[in-house]
Amino acid sequence: MRIGILGTGTVGSTLGTKLVQLGHEVKMGSRSTNNEKAAEWVRNSHSSKATQGTFSDAASFGELVFNCTPGAVSLEALEMAGPQNLRGKVLVDVANVLDFSKGMPPTLTVANTDSLAEQIQRTFPDAKVVKSLNTVAAEIMVDPQMVPGDHDVFVCGNDAEAKNQVKKILGEFGWKNITDLGDISSARGLEMWLALWWRLRMYFQSRIFNLHLQRQS
Amino acid sequence: MRIGILGTGTVGSTLGTKLVQLGHEVKMGSRSTNNEKAAEWVRNSHSSKATQGTFSDAASFGELVFNCTPGAVSLEALEMAGPQNLRGKVLVDVANVLDFSKGMPPTLTVANTDSLAEQIQRTFPDAKVVKSLNTVAAEIMVDPQMVPGDHDVFVCGNDAEAKNQVKKILGEFGWKNITDLGDISSARGLEMWLALWWRLRMYFQSRIFNLHLQRQS
């Protein structure tokens, strides 16, 4: 599958590397054609399946696109990627809207009555936005076995077939417990989880943890 | 122990009943002396240890006080309870700031950069506010074994001794995994969990579930 990755940070490079290892063709996009972090990722991938380009190049290239940009600038990055390059495509939003400007732990730039994923879906109505993976650290996204025992990942979005495609990729990553929370508005819950996640991270002094939902069977 | 319960809803009556069963003396407080729901709770308790009164009566009675009023009216109820009756006491805030006026699932009346528990601590600086138990349904609060397997409850607050008293009561309820998240500002994370909790409740079509944190040991 051809996959576009928007963003050159830890999340983008971790997802990109795993997707290349799984045999997918991946183009990492950023503001410029020759972004140094993207170039380093391409070099370290040692694979012709890993390439780089602009946000627009990556979105155009991908049959499926991951938004791995920081949440506070995601709408701007997606605007640069271009609505025409996202039309009809699955857009997996893994971003978090963290605001570190007021100190630690961070607050969110949008919460409660709206979410980044909903903003993206409203702004790009022809994309099929699926929120997923934002609830865990980058290493765990592509290697859930790092965390012992059963633990959970979520998807939500308005398009059932788009969610199925994302669930398939989550399965390739090794995820076993995938909970579908319905339409894209459930992204509010997934993004607001970060408020508790950050405090747990500080308490555990580690980001290698995840939640598991226990319930009556 | 003498315990004041502020609020006559499901949470207040469930906690009150369990505390009486554990041998504590419990006074349930509401706006009026003769509230009918409180009277029903007293009757159903079949115990001289269960009594009712005003918010002020209950707060004055308790060595430790539970805030079980709806989050949106908690500050008003605590004002009626009286700062002088809360002075120096452990005030366990189990409330959630749910706003059902915009439809389901509810939004929160305060979130992200503040929380109800912080508002309470600021408004009643001489009380020792501890946030706890708001992350699970009332039945689970007092009977964690309803949910199979390991699962977690949290405390946060500015006073270590107050948190120890609350942990002791949680132990009496049967809680085994109690995570201390530090000062009262962590209530933001515990209250914002409700955004995800409500969507999980809708997905599971049950409120008998809880989260367990899996991590590298």
C-alpha A56/C-alpha A61 separation (Å) is 8
Q: How high is the pLDDT of residue A213?
A: 98
CB distance B213–A206 less than 8 Å? no
Q: What is the DSSP letter of B84?
A: H
CB distance B189–A198 less than 8 Å? yes
C-alpha A1/C-alpha B166 separation (Å) is 53
Q: How high is the pLDDT of residue B67?
A: 98
* CB distance B135 to B193 below 8 Å: yes
Q: How high is the pLDDT of residue A188?
A: 98
Alpha carbon distance, N-terminus to C-terminus of chain A = 37
Q: Percent of chain B at pLDDT above 90?
A: 99
Residues of chain A with pLDDT under 50: none
H-run or E-run covering B22: none
C-alpha A147/C-alpha B133 separation (Å) is 26
Chain B, nearest residue to A215 by Cα? B209
- What's this model's pTM, rounded to 2 decimal places? 0.97
C-alpha B157/C-alpha B142 separation (Å) is 21
Residue type for position B36: E
The pLDDT tens digits for B9-25 are: 999 999 999 999 999 99
Q: How high is the pLDDT of residue B2?
A: 98
The pLDDT tens digits for B166-186 are: 999 999 999 999 999 999 999
Q: What is the DSSP letter of A49?
A: T
Q: How high is the pLDDT of residue A164?
A: 98
Q: What is the mean pLDDT of residues B81-95?
A: 98
Write out the E strands in B1-55. 2-6, 25-30, 50-54
C-alpha A143/C-alpha A95 separation (Å) is 18
Q: Which two tokens stand for residue A166?
A: 């994302």
H-run or E-run covering A196: helix A187-204
Q: What is the ipTM of this complex?
A: 0.96
C-alpha A205/C-alpha A109 separation (Å) is 24
Q: What is the DSSP letter of A104?
A: S
Chain A, nearest residue to B112 by Cα? A107
Mean pLDDT, rounded, of chain B: 97
Helix/strand/coil for B130: strand
Chain A, nearest residue to B186 by Cα? A199
CB distance B215–A147 less than 8 Å? yes
CB distance B181–A193 less than 8 Å? no
Residues of B in contact with A190 (CB under 8 A): 196
